[in-house]
Amino acid sequence: MASIRRATPSDACRLAEIEVFDYRQHFYPLFKTDRYFFSELNVPVLMKEYQDEPERIERTYVYEDNGVVKGFVRVNGEEIEKLFVETAFQRMGIGGALLEHAIRNTKANDLLVLEKNRGAIRLYERYGFHMTGYRQRVDDTEEFFVRMERRGA
């Protein structure tokens, strides 16, 4: 039985695992920084960050199905900070369920998304998010984050 619940400290390893592998799959092809994606970004380091900063977990909701955490959304105020679904479970409605939960239960109405992440942008548009025209360069790269907001939120 699938459900969405608030994350707990015992979820730290699984959250880190999902986040690391999603970053590698979706962002490495754009940035190609081997040292960061395959050395600095790893499950033990990210798991420790979760443990050292419990507010990250407190702001996170997980999609759990039959005891397996398949994705998560983290919200800070009205901003969606992260939305990740394990690669094996993508395109099954999990991202949409997490997004809907964040909108309904936390009043989330804005987010930053990588401009080249067209799949994520299409998902957000289906849930009422629209481009604002705001662009922010990603560190010292040629890539940009764009801001999306829900109108009337």
pLDDT over 90 (residue 135): yes
CB-CB contact of 14 with 51 (8 Å): no
Q: Is 74 exposed, middle or buried (0-12, 13-18, 19+ CB in 10 A)?
A: buried
Residue 12: which domain range? Answer: 2-107
pLDDT digits (tens, 9 = 90+) for 16-48: 999 999 888 888 877 778 887 788 888 999 999
Give me the number of domains the chain comprises: 1
pTM of the predicted model over 0.75 = yes
DSSP secondary structure string for all residues of 74-103: EEETTEEEEEEE-GGGTTSSHHHHHHHHHH
pLDDT digits (tens, 9 = 90+) for 140-152: 788 899 999 997 6
How far is it, in rounded angstroms, from Cα 19 to Cα 13? 10
Query: Do the domain assignments include residue 123?
Result: no
pLDDT digits (tens, 9 = 90+) for 49-62: 999 999 999 999 99
129 Cβ partners below 8 Å, 6+ apart? 110, 111, 148, 149, 150
Residue 103's CATH number: 3.40.630.30
